[in-house]
Amino acid sequence: MGINMDNIRETFAKNLRENRRKCGFTQAVLAEKADVSTHYIALIELARNLPKVEVIERIAKALDIEVFELFLVPNCQILEMKKMQQAIINDLKDIVKDSVEEAFEKEKKSKIVILNE
């Protein structure tokens, strides 16, 4: 079974478009950040071109993602794990923030009690 380049281009195009939109970038903004033309980004997103490795690396850097994320097949286990990891990180940030705020409030209340005595 050989590699189907059409599927690779389509997967790359879809992931590029989704990640670009997630970042809030237009094709022009991404093109500037990756040092390619807007037309080239459009051709990639239409699955007509698959860029060279150097360009893929610049695109991934501009999107602040890992190169492999541009090749992930939807419903891929790695993608699901990455989403879960991000959700856990966000939950932990919220827990830490709430704990710190609670500690400051307790500290503030204990100082008020001491001053009132």
Q: Are residues 64 and 92 in the same domain?
A: no
Residues 39 and 50 in one domain: yes
Q: pLDDT, tens digit, for every residue of 57-72?
A: 999 999 999 999 999 8
The one-letter amino acid at 104: F
Sign of CA dihedral 81, 84, 89, 95: negative
Per-residue confidence (pLDDT) for residue 1, from 0 to 100: 41
Which domain CATH number covers 24?
Answer: 1.10.260.40
Report the alpha-carbon distance of residue 74 to residue 15 in Å, rounded. Answer: 9
Note whether 67 and 16 are within 8 A (CB).
no
pLDDT for the residue numbered 20: 96
Domain of 102 in residue numbering reads as 75-117
- What pLDDT score was predicted for residue 81? 74
Total domains in the chain come to 2
> Per-residue pLDDT tens for 29-46?
999 999 999 999 999 999
Q: Are residues 49 and 105 in the same domain?
A: no
Same domain for 58 and 114: no
Instruction: Note the pLDDT tens digit of each residue in 74-107.
Output: 666 666 777 778 888 888 998 999 898 998 888 8
4 and 25 assigned to the same domain: yes
